[in-house]
A and B are shown apart, each in its own frame.
Chain A
Amino acid sequence: GENVEQHPSTLSVQEGDSAVIKCTYSDSASNYFPWYKQELGKRPQLIIDIRSNVGEKKDQRIAVTLNKTAKHFSLHITETQPEDSAVYFCAAQGRANSKLTFGKGITLSVRP
């Protein structure tokens, strides 16, 4: 089955700097890659997603890039703000309507 690796487990950046979070996946058939933000005790929130037929997608301060050859995808947050502090999970999904496999998550801390 699919295996999603997410490293490191924590990341600390200064407010205003950029943050990059990387994930790798194992199943070359995976075609959907969402990123979730989860605050303590709350549900995961989809912040951006990308399909395998696209290399990059951007939404204001957030962007995701996908390298199918290397089987890795990255979340880019620019101009970070303290409210960006949370746990971020990447995930991968194979064929349409199949299950999501989540990475272990990374705790992002944005220092004021």
Chain B
Amino acid sequence: GAVVSQHPSWVICKSGTSVKIECRSLDFQATTMFWYRQFPKQSLMLMATSNEGSKATYEQGVEKDKFLINHASLTLSTLTVTSAHPEDSSFYICSARDIEGRGGSYNEQFFGPGTRLTVL
């Protein structure tokens, strides 16, 4: 249980195009999902917190008009990287928190497998 999927697992795109990444909680409902970005040999950096039915909360320094987040249901959040540039190339990981607090710890976040974005 508590499985989170991401699609696609990897994507290569040209500079200037937009890319959409999906994050799904497969067997639980998540009112809150988180989007992280991880550059090589670095830690996970939180980009934004996505709440179902409301606007996402972005971390300082993250452009909300560039990284569009939509959390339209309790099982799906999407991140759209608009007008992608080579510096946006990174490993994007989502996580979800179980609304019912399963997993042995009410606070536990369940991570997706990540999406490797390469912008040429």
Chain A residues proximal to chain B, CB less than 8 Å: 32, 34, 41-46, 49, 51, 89, 93, 96-97, 99-105
Is B8's beta carbon under 8 Å from chain A?
no
Set of chain A residues within 8 Å of B112, measured between Cβ atoms: 43
CA distance A103 to B107 in the complex (A): 18
A102 to B43, Cβ gap below 8 A? yes
With contact pairs A104-B43, A105-B43 given, residues A32 and B111 touching in the complex (Cβ less than 8 Å): no
Cα of A101 to Cα of B44 in the assembled complex, Å? 9
**Within 8 Å CB of B105, what residues of A?**
32, 34, 49, 51
- B108's partner among A34, A43, A99, A103 (CB-CB below 8 A) is A34
User: How many A-B pairs fall under 8 Å by CB?
Assistant: 47
Chain A residue contacts of B97, Cβ below 8 A: 97
- For B111, the closest partner residue in chain A by CB is A43
Write the chain A residue with the least CB distance to B4: A43
Q: How many residues of B contact A (CB 8 A)?
A: 21
Select one of A42, A51, A97, A100 contacting B46, CB under 8 A: A100
Contact B44 A44 (CB under 8 A): yes
Q: How far, in angstroms, from A102 to B44 measured CA to CA in the complex?
A: 7
Cβ-defined contact, B43 with A89, below 8 A: yes
Chain B residues near A96: list those with CB within 8 A.
Answer: 106-107
Among B43, B91, B107, point to the contact of A93 (Cβ < 8 A).
B107
Min Cβ gap B28→A in Å is 15
Interface residues of B in 61-120 (CB under 8 A from A): 91, 93, 97, 105-109, 111-114, 116
A100 and B113 within 8 A (CB): no
Closest A-chain residue to B104, C-beta based?
A: A49
B49 within 8 A of A: yes
Docked Cα-Cα span, A102 to B42, in Å, equals 11
The answer for the CA separation of A41 and B116 in the assembled complex, in Å, is 9
Out of B44, B114, B116, name the residue touching A89 (CB < 8 Å): B44
Contacts of B111 in A (CB 8 A): 43-45
Which of these, B32, B107, B114, contacts A42 with CB under 8 Å?
B114
Q: Which residues of B contact A42 (CB under 8 A)?
A: 113-114
- Specify which chain A residues have a CB less than 8 angstroms from the CB of B45 in the assembled complex: 102
